[in-house]
Structures are given as C-alpha cells and as structure tokens.
Chain A
Amino acid sequence: MRGTGWKLLDNPITRAMASPLSVDDYLTQFNPLWSVAEVRGRIERVERETADAVTLHITPNGHWQGHRAGQHLVLGVEIEGVRHSRCFSISSAPADAGITVSVKRNGQGLVSNYLVDQARAGEILHLSQARGEFLLPEGNGPLLMISGGSGITPLMAMLRQCVREGQQRDVVFLHYSNSYIDTLFRAELRALAERFEWLTLIQVVNEGAPLAGDRRGLFSAEQLVELVPDYAARTPLLCGPPALMERVNAAFERAGLATPAQEQFQVKVSSAAGEGVVLFSKSGREAAGDSAGSLLELAEQQGLNPESGCRMGICHACKCHVSEGRVRDLRNGEVRDVKDEDIQLCVHAAAGAVQVEL
C-alpha cells in the first residue's frame, strides 16, 4: 500500500479507537512494516562486498519518498533488543528498485559491525526519509569525485545515476583505499570504466602493487596534479575519512580553489576535555562541569529548571536528551560516552564535554 493508503487509516475515528495509544501501536503488532506514517524497510538480501563490507538490499514501505543520489538516511536496527540508529549513505541510484546501503566494518562501531556480521534477510529496519545536500551537480559539467574507504558510497550512487540516465558526463573517479581487495564496488567500477569512455577510474592503494594508471600511497597535492591535470576545471565532490578530507581541502585551499562539495561520514572525535564544559543547547548556557555534582545540579545552578523528582536515580523525571558527551554515572563511578541518549541528569556528572538539550 502506498503512503496515502495508510494515511486513510489515520483519521479522528481510528485515533480515538486507539487512544491513548497510537494507531501504529496496533498496526505494528500485525505486521512490523505497517505504519500510518513511519518509514520502515525489510532487508531483502545481504550481499557481501568485501571481507568486511556488505550491501543491504532494502525494500522500504510505502512511506518512502525516494532519494537523490548522494543523500543518506538514518537507519535504526535492534541489537540485543535495543534500538540503535546511525546515518548511512544510500549507494543505489534513485531509479533502482528498492534502496541499498553499503556498510563497512568499523572498529568499535556497534551498528556497522552488527550489520556486516549479523544482519539477515527479513530483518526490519526503522528508516528516516532521505536527507542531505551532498548531491550530483546539475548540468553536464565535468566532475572529479574523490572518495576514501567507505566514503565511496554516496559517490557510487551519483555515478550509478549518471549511468542509469545515460549522462555522457566527463567523470574522474579517484578512490583511496587500503587495497584492491578491500575496495567496495571494485568489480562494478572496473566494468563501468571499461565500458564508458566518459569515465576515468583511478585508484590509490595503500598496500600491494598498483595497476597501470593507479598509484600507491596517500593523497597529496602533487599527486592530484599528476593524476588529474585538469582538476581545477572540474566540479569536485569529496567523501572519505577525516584525514583524507582534511588533506584534500588543504590542497584545494592552497591552490586558491573553493573546497569540494563534501559529506562527512565520520565525525572526528575530539579528545575528551580535561575539565568538562557542559553546554545546555536549548538555552545556550555553558558551565564548567566541575562547578556542581550532578548535571541536574549544574543545570539548576545555571537557572535552568529541568523537570526533576527523586534526585537519586529512581523516578526518571529528570531524564533529558544528551546529544553527545562523556558522563560519569554517579552511582557506580563508571565513565562512558553517550550520543543521542536520554540520561537521568540527577545521577550523572560531566566527565568531559557534554551537550545537554535543555
């Protein structure tokens, strides 16, 4: 059923019948993909790309409004019963049936690792609509796509769109990865480059001998000039790990050029501040974390009036959204990093920079 069909089920009568619960609270029990408004999807197939990367083929429900190449979505998955949400770029072209998300295992990344190792066909995912402004430039001008590691995914979506739409656009696809065997979409990229005159594929690898036309090593301004002499005449697009993006941006700046349109897929983790600073984001107040015990006391010291109750961690009245930060659980002294989590302010103190939505 299309999105509008479901919306018919969401009317004053059905809402009154479900009250105080929502219509979705009932629909979901009969089929987890059913909802009057939420985008959800089923994993149809898990395709292994490399030893540590997979592509999930997802069929979204009728609420999915489509995407533009380069956009990402928030994907929520249940791991050991707990829902975790992360952003992933969409790797399929808008014209493809269904959507694909390509995921690479990522150190301690709970969600990425789960998706690579354990995601199975049939699993239900909670999705957002596609979002993001990192898009294929309009027109027919020449492009330079620079990607590193799994940063290839939004650029792959753009390249696939060029192919599907028969755009004979001059594209240089410059990709940085550890090795050929590690490279996402390697076979498809090679095949496309052989088939289409307009596409030039250059890979720079860290390990192993580079093939003809490819290079070994890291990005440098000199290398860019050598590999893509006309790079300044192309519209650049960039996505990769923070280190690569910094280097590329610096090279463009030094050459007096505008930095590429870009998408960060990994936020660089700043080292935890020695003495924490707490930012109350809604009120815009800032306070030194050590000037009070709990975050609740700190908020109150700042003249904020968060809801509170028992002040001992039992009633959950003071629960508040923390966008990110490092906190200490005052009950056991454990320090942990939180991101997009509701925590009880009365039993947590700042143990580094913390951003509280108050």
Chain B
Amino acid sequence: MNAAVNAMPQNITPKRGWRHLSAEQVEAFGAELDALRKEVMADLGERDARYIRRILKTQRYSEVAGRALLFAGFLPPAWIAGTALLSLSKILENMEIGHNVMHGQWDWLKDPALNSMTYDWDNTCPGDQWKHSHNYMHHTFTNIVGKDRDVGYGIMRLSDDQPWRPQYLFQPAYNWILAAFFQWGVALHDVEFERIGRGKSFAEARKQLSGIWKKARKQVFKDYLLFPALAGPGFVFTLAGNVTANLIRNLWAYAVIFCGHFTEGVEMFSEEEVEGETRSEWYLRQLLGSSNLEGGRAFHILTGHLSHQIEHHLFPDMPAHRYAEIGPRVQEICQRYGLQYNTGTLPRQFATVLKRINRLALPGRRRKMAAA
C-alpha cells in the first residue's frame, strides 16, 4: 500500500450499503450496538438457563422417544412418528444446541455439558474444525470474497466477484446434492481442498481428514449400524428412519443456512474494502452481509435462531433465544441510520437464493449496488 493511502483515515472507504453515513455516524451506530450487547449480556440469568435446559430436555426426550418408536418401525405410524421425532431432535441438537453452544453462547453457565470447548455435536463435522471454519473464518471474514469460504464453500459461485469457471454450469444441479448431504459438506469444508498444495500442506489436510473420519465413522456406525442392529428384524426400518432423519436435518440446515447470506440484496465485500476496518464497520458488514427469516417462535427455535442471522452475526456469542427479543430494536436502529435490514419469509428468501445460484452458474457479473 502506498504512503498516500496510508495517510488517509482508515475508515475512508465507504461501503456500498452505508456510503451515506459519515465516519461519526458509523461510529455512533457501532456504539448503539455495543450498548445493546452490553445490556443483554448483563441481563443473562436464570431465565436463559431455564430456556436452554428446557431445549436440552426436549431434544433428549424426543431423541429417545424417536429411536424407541423406530424399534417398532414395521408399523407405519410408529415409523412416521419415530422418524419425525428423531428429525426434530437432530435439528434441535445441531441448530439450537450444538451450533450455539460451540459459539460459546452458554459458557457463562459454567455447565460442562454446555461448554464450547468440550461440546461436540451430532454431525459428521468434528467440533474443533467447525469452530475454526465457522466461528473464526466465517464470522470474522463474513462475506469477504476470497476469505470467507462460506461464500460458495469452494465449490459454488455465489458472488459476482468470484471468477466464473465452467464447473459452475452444473451448480444448479449439484446444489441439491450438497443440500441432501449437507453435513458431509460441512465436515469436509475446513479441509479446503482447493488450497491443498497451494498454501496448505498435504500433511495438514491429511490430519484434518483423519479427524473427520474419526468423528464421522462414529456417527455412521451409530445411525446406520448400531441402532438398526439393535432393532434386530427391524433393521431396515430403523436404518430407513435414521437415513430419513439425517436427510431431513440436512435439507433443513441447508435451507436455513443458505438463506443467511445468499439471499437477494445481501452484500459481498472484497479484501481491499475491509482493510483497516473498525469494529463499527465490522458491524455494518455483518448487518449488510446477512439476512433474516420471518416466522413464529417454534420456527425460530428450529432454525437455531439462525432465522435471526443478522442478530447472530452482530452478536455471535449472545444466547440465541435473545435474538428474537432484540430483533425489533436492531431493526429500529437500522431504520434510523437508513440501513437495509434484510428480512422475509423462508419461501421468499429461499427463492432468491435459488435465483442467485442459477444466475451465477452462467458467466458474467451484475453488481446492482455498484452501478447505483
């Protein structure tokens, strides 16, 4: 970087979505969010503990009941109920418990069963690798093309700024394969296959793969061998129930997560744009790079409150059930500063995601905001 650029105030580059704000306004916006965070974190207590313990209980009971019912899986109603309960339990465990616990949202309870450093989720992705690829890479470098590997996961083109490659022609199709096997995509995510041999050693990748195998084989053994075997003659029914529950969880997680950053109007950033970014500017990038889903209380819980992706990205270590409470206040702050607060129903938001996937399969770029 040359001296002239260095001499400029660090926050001189106005980003697209907030170019109407002065540097002071940007800092004031950040201060309001800091204050909001502080207020909520100071208020955490028994109510929050009761909430997460109730979720834990619901998840464990539904899992036990689901797996028990699947032992009677030769009866169609038992199979359907069992599979539904097991799907519910897997969704709750991955979304509202696992993801959020591993963010450190519940560390303050000092309950070893809810500690981010020791918790591992019911997923083929090992917790430690997830914490690196997600908590660190994705949450710190959100929507920075070339740094945030959640932008396309190394296999898809989800931003105009990603150079087109012929393989992307097929992404409208393999997108659905990713959806069906989402936990495996998540598991392999941190291996960064595209970087192996280029900045990432084979040895490191091999170490990660062995960690994934160690973790994944337990999940495979449990769901596809152990529980079916325990069902004896009902092997096939239990196996089918477990496969279905994992599939339902995969599709659900995929849909919710893709709606978090790839809906219409979500902004992407370049590495140059964010150089020397202040904390307030980081907030702005999180806000403009995320989008919410509207729905009822149960819906929010089933998404692990990732339906409040904006609030989650602003305050990743805040207990997630608080996002629903502060959502209106975040929205009100955004309104005052004339900032976009991207929200919509799941069908509407998801349709725009599919549109993006289909459009970017073809070469060429279109930056609506940049043209403005």
Which residues does A use to contact B, with CB under 8 Å? 13, 16-17, 19-21, 24-26, 28-29, 78, 80-84, 309-310, 312-317, 319, 331-332, 341-342
* A-B contact list, 17 entries, CB within 8 Å: A19-B218, A26-B60, A29-B61, A80-B45, A81-B48, A81-B49, A82-B109, A82-B110, A83-B111, A309-B136, A310-B139, A312-B279, A312-B282, A315-B140, A315-B316, A316-B317, A331-B34
Q: How far is the CA of A20 from the CA of B61 in the complex (A)?
A: 16
Which of chain B's residues have a CB closer than 8 A to the CB of A24?
113
Contact among B107, B136, B226, B227 with A317 in the assembled complex (CB-CB below 8 Å) = B136
Contact between chains at B49 and A16 (CB < 8 Å): no
| B45-A314 in contact (CB<8A) | no
Q: How far is the CA of A312 from the CA of B285 in the complex (A)?
A: 15
Asked if B117 is an interface residue, CB under 8 A from chain A, the answer is yes
CB-defined contacts of B132 to chain A, threshold 8 Å: 309, 317
Interface band, chain B: 35 or more
Do the beta carbons of A80 and B139 come within 8 Å of each other?
Answer: no
- Whether A20 lies near B140 (C-beta < 8 A) is no
Whether A317 lies near B111 (C-beta < 8 A) is no
Q: Are B56 and A29 in contact (CB under 8 A)?
A: yes
Q: A26-B64, A312-B279, A314-B317 are in contact. Are A78 and B38 (CB under 8 A)?
A: no
A315, B135: Cβ atoms under 8 Å? yes
Point out the residue from B46, B117, B226 that lies within 8 Å of A342, measured CB to CB. B117
Q: Which of B299-328 contact A (CB under 8 A)?
A: 316-317
Whether A81 and B46, one on each chain, are in contact in the complex, defined by CB atoms closer than 8 angstroms, is yes
Residues B121 and A319 in contact, CB atoms below 8 Å apart:
no
Complex: chain A residue closest to B63, CB-CB: A26
Within 8 A of A (CB), among B24-77: 34, 38, 44-50, 56-57, 60-61, 64
B141 shortest CB reach to chain A, Å? 9
Q: Does B19 contact A (CB under 8 A)?
A: no
Q: Give B348 Cβ to nearest chain A Cβ, in Å.
A: 29
Q: Which of B49, B64, B135 contacts A82 (CB 8 A)?
A: B49
Q: How far is the CB of A33 from chain B (nearest CB, A)?
A: 15
Q: What 3 pairs between A and B have smallest CB-CB spacing?
A: A81-B49, A316-B104, A309-B136
Residues on A with C-beta less than 8 A from B219 are 19-20
Closest chain A CB from B310 CB (angstroms): 15
Contact of B136 among A82, A84, A310 (CB under 8 A): A310
The residue on A at minimum CB distance from B120 is A20
Residues of B close to A25: CB separation below 8 A: 60, 113
Q: Is the CB of A81 within 8 A of B227?
A: no
Q: Is the CB of A29 within 8 A of B60?
A: yes
Q: Which residues of A contact B215 (CB under 8 A)?
A: 20
B221 and A314 contacting across the interface, CB-CB below 8 Å: no
- B122 contacts A83, CB within 8 Å? no
Q: How far is the CA of A316 from the CA of B100 in the complex (A)?
A: 12
A23 and B165 alpha carbons, distance in the complex (Å): 48
Q: Is the CB of B139 within 8 A of A315?
A: yes
Whether A315 touches B131, Cβ cut-off 8 Å, given contacts A19-B219, A82-B109, is: yes
B218 A81 Cβ-Cβ under 8 A = no
Q: Contact partner of B121 among A20, A82, A314, CB < 8 A?
A: A20
Nearest CB on B from A76, distance (A): 8
Question: Is B103's beta carbon under 8 Å from chain A?
Answer: yes
Q: Find the A residue at minimum CB distance from B49.
A: A81
Question: Which residues of chain A are within 8 angstroms of B122 by Cβ–Cβ distance?
Answer: 20-21
Minimum C-beta distance from A313 to chain B (A)? 8
Report how far A264 CA is from B132 CA in the complex, Å. 43
Partner pick for A80 among B46, B111, B218, CB 8 A cutoff: B46
C-alpha spacing A341/B108, complex, angstroms: 9
A25-B122 Cα distance, complex, nearest whole Å: 13
- Quick one: which of B110, B115, B122 has the most chain A CB within 10 A? B110
Q: Is B206 an interface residue, CB under 8 A from the partner?
A: no
Residues of B within 8 A of A317 (CB): 131-132, 135-136
Contacts of B349 in A (CB 8 A): none
B116 at the interface (CB under 8 A from A): yes
Does the CB pair B45–A19 fall under 8 Å?
no
Whether B195 sits at the interface, judged by CB under 8 Å, is no
Nearest CB in chain B to that of A76: its residue: B110
With contacts A25-B60, A26-B60, A314-B316 taken as known, whether A17 is within 8 angstroms of B136 at the C-beta atoms is no
CB nearest to B105 among chain A residues: A316
Q: A17-B226, A19-B218 are in contact. Are A82 and B139 (CB under 8 A)?
A: no
Bound-state CA distance A316–B132 (Å) is 10
Report which residue of A26, A28, A317 has the largest number of chain B beta carbons within 10 angstroms of its beta carbon.
Answer: A317
